[in-house]
C-alpha cells in the first residue's frame, strides 16, 4: 500500500464523518458561497512569472517544513510579492493543514486561492467554495475518468477553476475534457518520490493549447522555470522552496523580482 493509497483510504473516512455532521445546506449558507471567484487560469495567462506559491506546514516525504509561519502573514507576503495565486494544503493528518487555513488566507489577501486537497467527493468542492477558495485540485492518479468529469463539472457550476494533476501520459489521456482549466504535471514520481522536470517536458506536447500548462514539484530555481517556459508552461507551483525559509513572503518576493 503506497502513501497515496493510505491518504485516500483515510480521506473517504474523513469525508463520510464530515458529511454526517455538517449538511451541504450549511455549507451553501456560508457568506463566502455567494462570493465571486477570481480565476487562477486567467491570472497565469496574463502573467510573466506564473508563480503559484504554496502554504504547507509538513508533508509525508519531508515531515516538518515550517510549523511556525502564520497563514495570514504568508498570504499577505505572497500577495505583496506579486504571485499569481496561493495554494493552501487542507489535509490535516499528513500535511498539517485545514480548511481554516483557506479561510484565513482568504481574509488576508485577494489573490486566487487553490484548495490543495485529495478530492474524492463533491462535498469537498462545496467546502472549498464555502471557505473562500477559487480553485480546486483534482488528482488523476486517484480518480476515474467519470469521477473527474463529475467533480470538474460541479466545480465549474460553482464558478471555481479546476487544476487537474497528472504524473504520466496514461493519466493525461484519460483526463482531457472541456471542464478543466489547467493541466498540471507533477514532476514527483509517486512510487519513488524522485523529482525530475523531464516529465513536464515529455508531456508538454500532449497537452492541448486550450489548457493552461502548470509544472508542479521540484521547482526551486529561476533556471528551472526558464528551462520549462519554451515547452509552453505558464504556471509553476512552488511548494517547499518558500515555506522552508523563515519568511516565505520575502523569499517569494526575491524570487519573483529575480525572475522578472
- Residues with a catalytic annotation lie at 54, 56, 116, 165, 186, 216-217
| Chain-centroid distance, C-alpha 252 | 17
**CA quadruple 89, 92, 97, 98: dihedral positive or negative?**
positive
SS3 180: coil
Measured between alpha carbons, how far is residue 226 from residues 3, 77, 215, 230 in Å? Answer: 32, 24, 12, 8
Residue 5 corresponds to which cell in the numbers above?
A: 493509497
- For 236, which DSSP code? E
**Rounded-to-integer distance, Cα 92 and Cα 142, Å:** 18
Residue 99 corresponds to which cell in the numbers above?
A: 480548511
Torsion, CA 180, CA 182, CA 183, CA 185, rounded to 10: -150
- For 188, which DSSP code? B
SS3 221: coil
For residue 112, the number of C-alpha atoms closer than 13 Å in the C-beta half-sphere is 24
**Rounded-to-integer distance, Cα 5 and Cα 79, Å:** 34
Backbone angles phi, psi at 116, to 5 degrees: -95, 110
Contact of 243 with 58, CB cutoff 8 Å: no
Amino acid at each position: 500500500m503506497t502513501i497515496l493509497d493510505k491518504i485516500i483510504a483515510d480521506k473517504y473516512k474523513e469525508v463520510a464523518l464530515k458529511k454526517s455532521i455538517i449538511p451541504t445546506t450549511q455549507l451553501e449558507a456560508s457568506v463566502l458561497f455567494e462570493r465571486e471567484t477570481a480565476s487562477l487560469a486567467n491570472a497565469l495567462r496574463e502573467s510573466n512569472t506564473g508563480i503559484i506559491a504554496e502554504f504547507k506546514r509538513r508533508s509525508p516525504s519531508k515531515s516538518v517544513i515550517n510549523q511556525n509561519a502564520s497563514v495570514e502573514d504568508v498570504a499577505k507576503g505572497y500577495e505583496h510579492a506579486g504571485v499569481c495565486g496561493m495554494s493552501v494544503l487542507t489535509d490535516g493528518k499528513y500535511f498539517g493543514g485545514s480548511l481554516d487555513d483557506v479561510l484565513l488566507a482568504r481574509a488576508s489577501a485577494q489573490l486566487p486561492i487553490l484548495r490543495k486537497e485529495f478530492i474524492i467527493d463533491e462535498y469537498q468542492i462545496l467546502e472549498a467554495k464555502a471557505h473562500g477558495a477559487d480553485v480546486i485540485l483534482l488528482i488523476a492518479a486517484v480518480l476515474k475518468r467519470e469521477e473527474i468529469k463529475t467533480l470538474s463539472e460541479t466545480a465549474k457550476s460553482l464558478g471555481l477553476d479546476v487544476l487537474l494533476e497528472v504524473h504520466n501520459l496514461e493519466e493525461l489521456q484519460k483526463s482531457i475534457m472541456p471542464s478543466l482549466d489547467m493541466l498540471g504535471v507533477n514532476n514527483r514520481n509517486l512510487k519513488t518520490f524522485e523529482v525530475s522536470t523531464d516529465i513536464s517536458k515529455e508531456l508538454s506536447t500532449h497537452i492541448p493549447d486550450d489548457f493552461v500548462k502548470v509544472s508542479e514539484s521540484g521547482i526551486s530555481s529561476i533556471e528551472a522555470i526558464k528551462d520549462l517556459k519554451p515547452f509552453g508552461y505558464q504556471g509553476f507551483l512552488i511548494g517547499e522552496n518558500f515555506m522552508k525559509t523563515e519568511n516565505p513572503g520575502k523569499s517569494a518576493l526575491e524570487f519573483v523580482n529575480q525572475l522578472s
